[in-house]
Structure 1
Amino acid sequence: MTIVSPHTPASWRTQAPRADGPVVERPRCQAALRSATALRPVVVVAAPPGFGKTTVVTRWAAQDARPTAWVTLDPFDDDAERLLGVVAAAVAAAHPGAAHGLPAAVRAAAGSTGRVLDALVSVLTDLGERALVVLDDVHLLTSPAARHAVATLLRTPGPRFVLVGRYVPDLALGRGRLAGQVGDLGTRVLALTPRETSDLVRAWGGPADPDVVADLWRATGGWPVAVRAACAAGVLHRGRPQRALRPQDVPVDDYVREEVLGALPSDVGTFLRRACVGRVLDPPLAEALAPGGARLLEECVGRGLLPPDASRALPWHDVLATHVRVVVGRTEPSVVRTVHRALARHVAGTDPAAAVRHAVEGHAPELAHEVLGERWPELLARSSLGAAVRLCGAVPAQAGGRDVATATAVSRALRGESRPEDHDAAAALVVRALVGADAPTTPHDLLAAATQGDATGTVVAYLVGRAALHASDTPVAGVPAERCGRGGLQHVVDALADAAEVAAVRGWPVLALACRAEHALACARSSRVAEARARAQGVLGDAAALGPVSAPATAAAHLAAGLVAFWCDEQAPARRHLTAAAQAASSRPALAARAAAVLVHVCLADGDPAGVADVLATLERRAPAGISLAFLVAAQHDAHGEPRDALALVDLADPAFTSPTGVCRRSDLHRRTGDRAAALAALAGVPDDPAWHVADTVALHASRALLREEPAAAHRDLERALDAAAPDGVVRPLRDRAAALRPLLLAHLGRGSSHEGLVTRLLAADRDAPAPRGSAWTLTERELQALACLPSRMTLDEVAASLFVSVNTVKTHVRAVYRKLGVTSRRDAVRTAVERGLL
């Protein structure tokens, strides 16, 4: 066997190669490599072909003060002894003094891989960190013996090793990575930045126009060989192009076929061709595309050819996939059809629109119609039914079936809508197309008829239930301009819950989510506040997992969550959710208008006049049906301390002013102007109705309490308001009247209320609460902690347990609180603490 040395004809293999063509300095990459080698003994520089790996490492080595032992590997280095001989020759060339005896030692050990390895390791150990060894093209190592030899060499203490290749074979680096002894530089570092792209274009004589360079960088994803190809082919000299440069415009087809596909094992190359056609990468689909597909997928990921997660694909993978598709489409059209058919079956459950498209592209019309017939409710919920029907119509099948006919009828109805982007306006046309002209027309009858659990019944239940929640002529409740009564909603709640369950069972995730979102809103409007909050949060959490496709379905959930947060005086979440719901204006104008109307009240509560003005201006431009702009402007005047101006806007023909909450608002306005008789008259004849919304009930009892002359009657009404507000924390109607209610609330603490904790929180939240007096500072920290527990119903034993002290200690603190506040009872202590701003 011939041992390679610097004096043999193959001496070029132990020298850093020279760059072919202009070289652009990339200090960013060199700095990353310099930092990695300073911290770790082994650094892996791995990326698919064309990323300039060797050039970057060559420029870095030239700037390093240490001599570099460079080895360019070839396929014959799978012989372990030959491989170690090349490395020994490179080390001897780089360190002629310290390693002068190494070639002789290697020759003497000829025929024994272990002895050659021992001689090489001995020299490298003596050199320590002065030794810098670069192994280029390590992906060519395929034999276990060669890989084992390199893995053993890498464990030599002291020297620095840089491994360069298209991917790294099994060199037992896992333990080193866990120990922080192995660094990795991949495509994220090696891809060109926009500035580096500009430098490379100029170096190759291309135009320096920033817009052209930015266009090229976007199209190539920073793949250096693609940038060079574009310069060499004159792609950048297109004058003023009518469209942006696309990946397929960059001529790298031959490079992809020869350097990427041609260099792969046959099974990996076959799989890559199919995977790139599909654009979807996961193990189940990989198994459907090729035998052992999951293993081949993992190998492609390990080689850097495919992203580990298709949802976070790097730009370069798009370039590769584009040109692989071009090659496969030109040379293997039958493969393209096979892959599209497999994709149609694979994504039918998660993306039916894509499934129809793949079936059509795979020349499988029967499959396309099958997906359409099974998934049309989901396509309708995703606003992609029309496109799917048109695709299927372009490739007629021998038998479409009843479901396909239904989907076609619904699509035709949608095309007849003058504003198809308005989902609420189009819903009536869809329902008419589904149930026929002779079917019942009232929402209650329609929902009763839509209980068979099939596709038509589920869609009708969803659309009719949604329409009932957003109709402009339904009674107001809870918040003026936010409509729907409590008593007549149970059939809507039940129908939407059933529709959501059927949609989930049938595998229509976005439709199920939309039904659940409307169900959450129906719960909010029917006083099921806690349930509405929980269901809205569940919808929004599941929508995040589904991704952007579910965004239109979540508007109702945002409105439900915003309403609940507003009623419970949680202003920041209310503003966030209502703003999200209002942004659905393009597809759900009625829902967006209701969200905006409630957002006005949130901005008023926050003292945000600019926000109020912006929302009112938006509502005035849209002029939505069922929204009382006069009521909202009156509320604005009231918030600014202008009750007479607000009263001037009252119109008893407007349902907002005659609703329970509107009546309470009118009464409050008269009371603020000093007209008690008019305030009482506004509330006269308004009976307690169990069908009212809880927010209306709280507002009515609070308004009555403020007008009672007898203290006992006032406290009875206040207690009723607290009874209604306490279970779900619907305190916004009380907070709206905080200043007027404050004296009554303070007095209420001494009357044995069952809601002392809630009263205390209301008083503490009042913005007009007095500043703490000087005596507050006489209470110690422990006494203040004990005081904070007094408004609750906890016993002294429970207070002691919560503070992790003994009962006797708590008693001592409580006695001190009583003495310092000048009171003799727990109730008086709470009232006095609130007055002094201590709670």
Structure 2
Amino acid sequence: MGVGRPLLAPAIEPAGESARRADAERLASVALISGGRAHFLAGNIGGARDRLRRGLAREGAREPLSRIRTLGALALLDAWVGETTRATELTGQARAEAQVSGALTHPATADAHLADALVAVSRGDPSVAERELRAAALRATVDDRSQTAWIAYAIGRELGSVMDEEPTAPLPSGSPPPIVVEALVASRARRARRNGDPAAALAVLADRSPAASAVLFERGLACLALGRSADAREALRLHSGLPDSGEPLHRIRSLVLATSLSAMRGRTPRTDDLLVQALRIADEYGLVSVFLDAGPDTTSRILGLGLPSLPPVATQVIRCASTAARAADGAGLAEPLTDRERELLVLLPTGFTNTQLADRYFVSVNTIKSHMAHLYRKLEVSTRSGAIERATLLGLIRPWSDGGTSAEGGFGPGRRTG
């Protein structure tokens, strides 16, 4: 009997080699995830999203805290550009991972809380935003992550803008990342513009890079407020050419700028169509604050379209705008206006009759007359023209003289197209 060929032993990888492979995979995941976060802080949304997604898909990112951090970072990125639905889904996954692993209070959840806070700000829900910001700030303090603290600070400034309040949070330590710098500059410019000083807003923006959506949006709006349509058109052109121009928030900003430019030449069907397009995108993602950022002229145009025919988000925009303006009511009136009275007040310069107003709000003419009587009494006037004059003096409405929001500009019943 001959000697048979020896059996081949199965290949067994040495333990050291297996460990080295695992370490290499973990390092590759960490590199991608860290790189993704760095790209986000630098303002490169596309590059950040790509790296974070690839890092999350690798074997080395299966460790719970790594997954929680990465899911939160992706959610924060999406919330920053208005992808609120996807951001909420990602924070839900991060919270579920944290629940299972007992890490709900771990600093790794900070980005998920920041994302939920930013979503709440974008949707006009300040109470939720404040709660989530507190949770994020607490975790950032425990982990001593200054970049996270700066993002929380920037979101707090956005919350203050929505509530028309000056934020009081102290500055975090260290230097803010570029994406926060641009957000804070835009916030300062917005406050100057909305306080009636668009020239100061442009001065704030003068040395900023024209590669940030929020900066270009503010530059365009400030130029429009100064009647510089050519400069506003250039800001819109640059904004439309941004690498991330297809993101929901950026698309709405472009459409709002285009609407305001169109309105400078008088209201046309195109003016209305551009604004309705913006509202439809906003309705899909629940975005409200972008219209509040644009200011009273934009919210007045939304009212002029006729709320019953618009996406539901339009009602939320008007409601938030009315709430934010109540402090101004109290400063000059013995008795504050109701939300409906404020809505009617904004529409007074349009020339709509009581019958047309009743049709818009699906109420009787007598109900409109009752609202008007209360409105006149609170303003201490007896006529529509007196109400307009008094409300303008108090700053409750702006002079309708820019060609897009005045009765002469096309908001009267004879020119209505919305």
Q: 2:186·2:205 contact (CA, 8 Å) conserved in 1?
A: yes
In structure 2, give the amino acid aligned to 1:829.
F
Structure 2 residue 66 is the aligned partner of structure 1 residue 511: yes
How far apart are the structure 2 equivalents of 1:690 and 1:826? 44
Q: Are the structure 2 counterparts of residues 613 and 493 from structure 1 closer, same or farther at C-alpha, using a change threshold of 3 Å?
A: same
Alignment correspondent of 1:559? 114
How far apart are the structure 2 equivalents of 1:763 and 1:463? 45
How far apart are the structure 2 equivalents of 1:571 and 1:823? 34
Structure number with higher relative contact order (C-alpha < 8 Å, ≥ 6 residues apart): 2
Q: Helix, strand or coil for the counterpart of 1:730?
A: coil
Alignment correspondent of 1:649? 204
Alignment correspondent of 1:665? 218
Q: 2:160 aligns with which of 588, 591, 603?
A: 603
Alignment correspondent of 1:700? 254
In structure 2, give the amino acid aligned to 1:561.
D
Alignment correspondent of 1:682? 235
Q: 2:24 aligns with which of 437, 456, 477?
A: 456
Q: Are the structure 2 counterparts of residues 578 and 625 from structure 1 closer, same or farther at C-alpha, using a change threshold of 3 Å?
A: same
Q: Helix, strand or coil for the counterpart of 2:33?
A: helix
Q: Helix, strand or coil for the counterpart of 2:251?
A: helix
Q: 1:579·1:596 contact (CA, 8 Å) conserved in 2?
A: no
**Number of corresponding residues:** 326
Q: Helix, strand or coil for the counterpart of 1:822?
A: helix
Alignment correspondent of 2:287? 730
Structure 1: runs of 5 or more not aligned: 1-398, 407-451, 476-483, 777-820
How far apart are the structure 1 equivalents of 2:103 and 2:254? 42
- The 5-angstrom pairing of residues 228-377 of structure 1 reads none
The alpha-carbon deviation at position 630 of structure 1 amounts to: 4.1
In structure 2, give the amino acid aligned to 1:622.
G
Structure 2 residue 47 is the aligned partner of structure 1 residue 495: no
Q: Are the structure 2 counterparts of residues 638 and 533 from structure 1 closer, same or farther at C-alpha, using a change threshold of 3 Å?
A: same
Alignment correspondent of 1:822? 355
Q: Are the structure 2 counterparts of residues 525 and 462 from structure 1 closer, same or farther at C-alpha, using a change threshold of 3 Å?
A: farther
How far apart are the structure 1 equivalents of 2:298 and 2:214? 17
What does the per-residue CA deviation read over 1:498-538, in whole Å, with 9 as the maximum and x for residues that have no partner? 14x7654xxx3323322332333344356542121122134
Q: 1:663·1:683 contact (CA, 8 Å) conserved in 2?
A: yes
Alignment correspondent of 1:181? none
Q: Are the structure 2 counterparts of residues 729 and 498 from structure 1 closer, same or farther at C-alpha, using a change threshold of 3 Å?
A: same
What does the per-residue CA deviation read over 1:169-197, in whole Å, with 9 as the maximum and x for residues that have no partner? xxxxxxxxxxxxxxxxxxxxxxxxxxxxx
What does the per-residue CA deviation read over 1:778-830, in whole Å, with 9 as the maximum and x for residues that have no partner? xxxxxxxxxxxxxxxxxxxxxxxxxxxxxxxxxxxxxxxxxxx6359955638
What does the per-residue CA deviation read over 1:443-495, in whole Å, with 9 as the maximum and x for residues that have no partner? xxxxxxxxx9x5532442244223323337733xxxxxxxx32x445533532
How far apart are the structure 2 equivalents of 1:488 and 1:472? 8
The alpha-carbon deviation at position 725 of structure 1 amounts to: 0.8
How far apart are the structure 1 equivalents of 2:70 and 2:161? 32
Q: 1:705·1:715 contact (CA, 8 Å) conserved in 2?
A: yes
Q: Are the structure 2 counterparts of residues 701 and 526 from structure 1 closer, same or farther at C-alpha, using a change threshold of 3 Å?
A: closer
Q: Are the structure 2 counterparts of residues 668 and 562 from structure 1 closer, same or farther at C-alpha, using a change threshold of 3 Å?
A: same
Alignment correspondent of 2:175? 623
The alpha-carbon deviation at position 670 of structure 1 amounts to: 2.5
Q: Helix, strand or coil for the counterpart of 2:206?
A: coil
How far apart are the structure 2 equivalents of 1:760 and 1:527? 19
How far apart are the structure 2 equivalents of 1:831 and 1:701? 35
The alpha-carbon deviation at position 400 of structure 1 amounts to: 8.0
How far apart are the structure 2 equivalents of 1:551 and 1:580? 11
How far apart are the structure 2 equivalents of 1:502 and 1:757? 44
Q: 1:510·1:550 contact (CA, 8 Å) conserved in 2?
A: no
In structure 2, give the amino acid aligned to 1:665.
E
How far apart are the structure 2 equivalents of 1:645 and 1:519? 35
Q: 1:534 aligns with which of 86, 89, 100?
A: 89
Q: Helix, strand or coil for the counterpart of 1:717?
A: helix
Q: Are the structure 2 counterparts of residues 574 and 536 from structure 1 closer, same or farther at C-alpha, using a change threshold of 3 Å?
A: same
Alignment correspondent of 1:401? 16
How far apart are the structure 1 equivalents of 2:361 and 2:40? 50
How far apart are the structure 2 equivalents of 1:469 and 1:831? 56
Alignment correspondent of 2:316? 761
How far apart are the structure 2 equivalents of 1:459 and 1:524? 27
The alpha-carbon deviation at position 719 of structure 1 amounts to: 1.3
Q: 1:559·1:595 contact (CA, 8 Å) conserved in 2?
A: yes
Alignment correspondent of 1:591? 148
Q: Are the structure 2 counterparts of residues 539 and 531 from structure 1 closer, same or farther at C-alpha, using a change threshold of 3 Å?
A: same
Q: Helix, strand or coil for the counterpart of 1:573?
A: helix
Q: Are the structure 2 counterparts of residues 523 and 677 from structure 1 closer, same or farther at C-alpha, using a change threshold of 3 Å?
A: closer
How far apart are the structure 1 equivalents of 2:363 and 2:33? 48
Higher share of residues assigned helix: 2
Q: Are the structure 2 counterparts of residues 463 and 502 from structure 1 closer, same or farther at C-alpha, using a change threshold of 3 Å?
A: closer
- The 5-angstrom pairing of residues 154-233 of structure 1 reads none
Q: 2:110·2:135 contact (CA, 8 Å) conserved in 1?
A: yes
